[in-house]
Amino acid sequence: NAGVTQTPKFQVLKTGQSMTLQCAQDMNHEYMSWYRQDPGMGLRLIHYSVGAGITDQGEVPNGYNVSRSTTEDFPLRLLSAAPSQTSVYFCASSYSNPLLAGGPGEQYFGPGTRLTVT
Amino acid sequence: GQNIDQPTEMTATEGAIVQINCTYQTSGFNGLFWYQQHAGEAPTFLSYNVLDGLEEKGRFSSFLSRSKGYSYLLLKELQMKDSASYLCAVRGGDTGRRALTFGSGTRLQVQP
């Protein structure tokens, strides 16, 4: 199993450009999420999905869109890139919803995408 | 909201024991996680505590006291490969506004 994969690994954008960060998992997990990680701050949840066709906003959703047409894929779209979106982006998946009680909701993270917006 | 505090950096010696503390404030506490993250890599799951007490997993143990809003991760027989950041994350929040909040991490440097 490849686990969680993300592409690209690195990306440089100019302010105002749009792009899509790809995320795929082959573990048949229902729950997937996107985080950003900035220096000196914890991982912050951008958007998440509890299954195909169902998405919801996390802590910092502004400027990002997601969709979930299949169980395997969960792309993150930057609509109009801004320097404040310079960050490392991680996609994660889990068997159970890590936000809810009933189990550890252990998350498996992808290798990350390092995005710089100039 | 939720608030998590953990030390920014720690240094320890190979073969020793180190304890990384995490204090938190949250409503509706429902679990605490520890993740390990090597520089430039993805976080990987280490442990999960939801009840008070100690959970042991090999060289790593995690402790939780819900009444004190306190957890620690204990690493025994430190190895050089344990040099990494250790992230504490708390699940909580009120019904309808559940959240999983990560601390900023503790960077552990293991020295020979």
Going by pLDDT thresholds of 50, 70 and 90, the confidence category of residue B96 is low
Q: Select the residue of B100, B103, B104 nearest A98 (Cβ to Cβ).
A: B100
Q: What pLDDT sits at residue A72? A: 97
What confidence score (pLDDT) does residue B84 get? 98
Amino acid A103: pLDDT? 67
Percent of chain B clearing pLDDT 70 (strictly above) = 97
B91 touches chain A (CB under 8 A): yes
Closest-CA residue to B86 (of A42, A87, A104, A98): A42
Q: How far apart are CA B32 and CA B92, in angstroms?
A: 9
Dihedral angle at the C-alpha atoms of B74, A99, B45, B37, nearest 10 degrees? -90
Structural Rg of chain B based on CA atoms? 14
Residue of B nearest to A40 (CA): B104
- C-alpha of B98 from chain center: 20
pLDDT of residue A41: 87
pLDDT reported for residue B11: 98
Q: Are A45 and B100 in contact (CB under 8 A)?
A: yes
Calpha distance B7→A108 (Å, rounded): 25
Residue A101: band (very low, low, confident or very high) from pLDDT cuts 50, 70, 90:
low
CB contact (8 A) between residue B48 and residue A108: no
pLDDT value for A78: 97
Name the DSSP class of B21: E
Give B 49-68 residues with CB within 8 A of chain A.
50
Q: What is the mean pLDDT of residues A57-79?
A: 96
Instruction: For residue B105, give how far its alpha carbon lies from the nearest alpha carbon of chain A (Å).
Output: 7
Phi, psi of A84 (to 5 degrees): -65, -10
